Amino acid sequence: MSFDGIALRTITTELEKKLCGARIDKIYQPQKQQIILHLHQKGISYKLLLSSLAQEARVHLVSQTASNPAQPPLFCMVLRKHLEGGRILSFTQPGLERILEINCEVLNELGDKTERKMIIEIMGKHSNILLVNPEENKIIDALKRVPVSLSRYRQVLPGLAYQYPPPQDKIIPWQTEQKVFYERLLSLPLTTKLNKALLKTCQGLSPQSINELIFRTGLEPHLALEYCGEYELSVLWQKLEQLGTQLEQEKLSPEIIMQDNVPLAFSAFALTSYPSAMRHGFPEMSEAIEFYYLHQNKVTTKQQITDKLTHIISKEIQRCEKKAALQLETIQEAKNAEQYRLWGELLT
């Protein structure tokens, strides 16, 4: 399930409302690629999950308590040294990029106020969590260090200047003139399918979000650009504008799609392409995402156990079949044992 820029914008808005000014009490690293910030704000405790897992990279509040290793990993200790006791100043998202910046005010070794910034980059297998000194724009440390041997374009190492991931040259449609949107879309090869064209053009929209928008237009997602005239482009623009207005006015409706009690997808806005019986609304995006991954992990764990047992049983069946084949061969040979005995007696 893709955690796209729309989902992150919704999460960022929620965090801005709840956690600006929150004190950073404790920092834990329950898994190799997960950080949990324990925060306190106006008498309420919160847990903020930051994950850079390839298939589960995300940021959201959680209610569950995770078990932590007896010895905290090195990156966790670096975060504790620089951030514990500090306060969160703001949450920012550049455009609709899948990047969240947590700006913090902390005390340095001399007791003077200074700032630190946590940056969460949600980019599939390249997802990462970094701690940066914003005054010098220098990386203090990162969960995943990236030397030149892994990337010539962008290294992520302590002491280096922080660089944003390579830009994708996409636009936010509702922040662009209609004419410019049309031009960008139609600059692609005219054989490009509509869903692929939007994916290459629009920032922050996952394939799921794009398919939902196209569904609302009544157009076919695999319609080639060469068959898109004024009507097709205008109705598409209208739906994109509506989504932008909902996002800016904070009127989105987080949903989970369920089938046979298994979550299939989550979204920051209504997925009308699914039957209403499969759609379940949530008051906040964090709640929807936590619900999705908790149930997905249960399904995954069950499947892993099933696969492991299937493998063990399969190996045992193969072993038994091999043993049975050897025993059958022995029985077959034993059928002529009496004849061989008589021949032996005659020879002697």
Q: Read off the CATH number of the domain in which 38 is found.
A: 2.30.310.10
Burial of 135 (0-12, 13-18, 19+ CB in 10 A): exposed
- Helix/strand/coil for 254: coil
Assess whether 178 and 271 both reside in one domain: yes
- Say if residue 227 is in the same domain as residue 279: yes
C-alpha distance across the termini of the chain, in Å: 81
Residues 134 and 182 placed together within one structural domain of the fold: no
Residue 219 lies in a domain: yes
- Structural domain includes residue 167: no
Q: Is residue 340 part of a domain?
A: no
Domain that holds residue 79: 5-142
| Residue 254 domain-assigned (yes or no) | yes
Residue of higher predicted confidence among 316 and 308: 316
**Higher per-residue pLDDT: 321 or 9:** 9
Whether 199 is in a domain gets the answer yes
- Quote the CA–CA distance of 42 and 27 in Å, as a whole number: 19
Task: Give Cβ neighbours of residue 141 (< 8 Å, ≥ 6 apart).
Answer: 75, 78, 130, 131, 158
Is the same domain home to 25 and 130? yes
261 neighbors 239 (Cβ within 8 angstroms): no
Of the residues 291, 308, 326, which one is the last residue of a structural domain?
291
CATH (domain of 198): 1.10.8.50
User: What integer pLDDT is reported at residue 2 of this predicted model?
Assistant: 72
Mean pLDDT for the stretch of residues 79-87 = 96
107 and 235 part of one domain: no
* Residues across the chain: 348
5 has a pLDDT exceeding 70: yes
* pTM for this predicted structure: 0.82
- pLDDT at residue number 223: 95
For 258-281, what is the mean pLDDT?
92
Bridge partners (DSSP) listed for residue 117: 103, 132
Asked, for residue 344, whether it belongs to a domain, the answer is no
Examine the domain organization and report whether 136 and 194 are in the same domain.
Answer: no
302-312: per-residue pLDDT in tens? 555 565 667 67
The whole-angstrom separation of Cα 61 and Cα 19 is 10
Average pLDDT, integer, range 186-202: 96
Rg (CA), the chain: 29
Q: Which residue has the higher pLDDT, 326 or 68?
A: 68
Confidence of residue 111 (pLDDT cuts 50, 70, 90): confident
| 10, 138: one domain | yes
Same domain, 10 and 127: yes
Does 205 map to a domain?
Answer: yes
Residues 184 and 285 occupy one common structural domain: yes
Of 142, 162, 189, the position where a domain reaches its end is 142
- Same domain assignment for residues 131 and 20: yes
Structurally, how many domains does the chain consist of? Answer: 2
Cα–Cα distance measured from residue 56 to residue 120, given in angstroms and rounded to the nearest whole number: 13
Task: State yes or no: pLDDT of 326 exceeds 90.
Answer: no
**Do both 95 and 197 map to the same domain?**
no
Residue 278 belongs to a domain: yes
Decide the pairing of beta strands 23-31 and 255-259: unpaired
Which ranges of the chain would DSSP assign to H, the alpha helix? 5-19, 74-83, 178-186, 194-201, 207-217, 230-248, 285-334, 337-347
One domain for residues 61 and 102: yes
Q: Which of 96, 121, 142 is the last residue of a domain?
A: 142
The Cα–Cα gap between 307 and 320 comes to 20
Residue with tokens 């394939």: 207
